[in-house]
Structure 1
């Protein structure tokens, strides 16, 4: 299937200049984490440390921009961090980055190396198109707590990704639901890279290009479509 992604006018107004790049991938080869993906995560942590030069992740201008947006829709960014900042903190800690599975490791490595939020969804589990909207507050978000499936609801005004079945990710890119996550059995996925000014669009594109290279390397023969960034501030091509 070809997935449709839309960003609401309300989200655009909240975060002018927001850009997302999507990589649609079919014929993926999943599986558990490997020594090769583990090495990519270790390299990403080294690249991050060099990028920050001793600063904390939230002091990076791109992460600071995400904190401002989180505050604007009512979330406390020091408690519910965007996915890139949360991963960066893990990468710099003694615990290091988690090893989840092959596909998740690949996009986590890109997120940490480039300090950009990256997510992945299983296309076969998405119902209808995906939309980035400000929640009404009555949408269903199915997650797991204490080993049991529970249904939560986002706060009114919270920015969420959703499909026809409900919310797939809360607080923009803070917590993904288990229904659509990439697993060891995933064969078709959509990978989303999200950026805000002051990160140049070209840098987000470079991160997407590197992720596409990883996917091609670990899934030989996979069919990838890189959807161009969508941004109100992206100049027209000449």
Structure 2
């Protein structure tokens, strides 16, 4: 059994944050994901014709994450929340990256709804997952830099499994080991919201939108909601031994 648990130090320090989990089993990561591509193209088209604009750091959905980053000692203008970086890229270039179907799906939902999003390859996770504060001895190998080892600053909010840190600065950057590639089979998607800033309905709509993009490409999809009222969810998949 694998669980994701929000540590009591995060619950007490950031009780406003709610996390929607989408667990996808039997994902066809290497296939074409036409719905995800359409979602990205629609975002780019709406920016190009001026009918819609992505959130900025002054808008509540992103401003609240800037404030959270400062609370655990990270400068959000140097190390930007993931949704901020994506929205800035879209506003600046008019384009969003294409990585693979699962990543494209959560990027599209992240930008459209103004929420940080991410994912882990569940088959690469070792033991349980924790959203906790970094501590002495933690190590992190950044995405795309397999020969690099970083030591997160104690007190920084991170996702970690029983072996190492899997994200830094809460939702800023992923680890190499649990990156989602086109060969992925089982994926844990995360959407992070602050209902006081964006509304619980926005998080619910985002989770529904992500599920709609993922479900046609997976054998089974389940959802969970974590926060101060419920801090633990089982995210194991049936195929796991």
Superposition TM-score tier, normalisation by shorter sequence: 0.7 to 0.9
Which 4+ stretches in 1 moved above 2 angstroms? Answer: 32-39, 44-53, 228-233
> Could you tell me which residue of structure 2 aligns to residue 109 of structure 1?
108
State which of 148, 172, 184 in structure 1 corresponds to 2:170.
172
How many matched pairs?
A: 228
Q: Residue 6 of structure 1 contacts residue 132 of structure 1 at CA under 8 Å; is this kept in 2?
A: yes
Residue 84 of structure 1, CA deviation:
0.6
> Could you tell me which residue of structure 2 aligns to residue 8 of structure 1?
7
SS at match of 2:149: strand
State which of 145, 149, 164 in structure 2 corresponds to 1:151.
149
1:1-238 correspondence to structure 2 within 5 Å: 3-31=2-30, 37-45=36-44, 52=53, 57-94=56-93, 96-143=95-142, 149-196=147-194, 197-217=196-216, 219=217, 222-232=219-229
Q: Residue 22 of structure 1 contacts residue 193 of structure 1 at CA under 8 Å; is this kept in 2?
A: yes
SS at match of 2:222: strand
SS at match of 1:24: strand
In the superposition, relative to structure 1, how do residues 222 and 35 fare at CA in structure 2: closer, same or farther (>3 Å)? closer
Name the structure where strand makes up a greater proportion of residues: 1
> What TM-score results when the alignment is normalised by the length of structure 2?
0.86
Residue 138 of structure 1, CA deviation:
2.1
1:18-74: CA deviation from partner (whole Å, max 9, x where unpaired): 100111110110027666533321223456775648xx6101112111000100101
Gaps of 5+ in 2: 231-241
> What TM-score results when the alignment is normalised by the length of structure 1?
0.87
Partners of 1:127 and 1:119 in 2: CA distance:
18
Residue 90 of structure 1, CA deviation:
1.0
1:114-160: CA deviation from partner (whole Å, max 9, x where unpaired): 01011111010001111011111420101267x65111110111000
SS at match of 2:41: helix
In the superposition, relative to structure 1, how do residues 208 and 148 fare at CA in structure 2: closer, same or farther (>3 Å)? closer
In the superposition, relative to structure 1, how do residues 51 and 68 fare at CA in structure 2: closer, same or farther (>3 Å)? farther
Gaps of 5+ in 1: 234-238
> Could you tell me which residue of structure 2 aligns to residue 236 of structure 1?
none
Partners of 2:116 and 2:142 in 1: CA distance:
21
Worse overlay, 30-39 or 86-95: 30-39
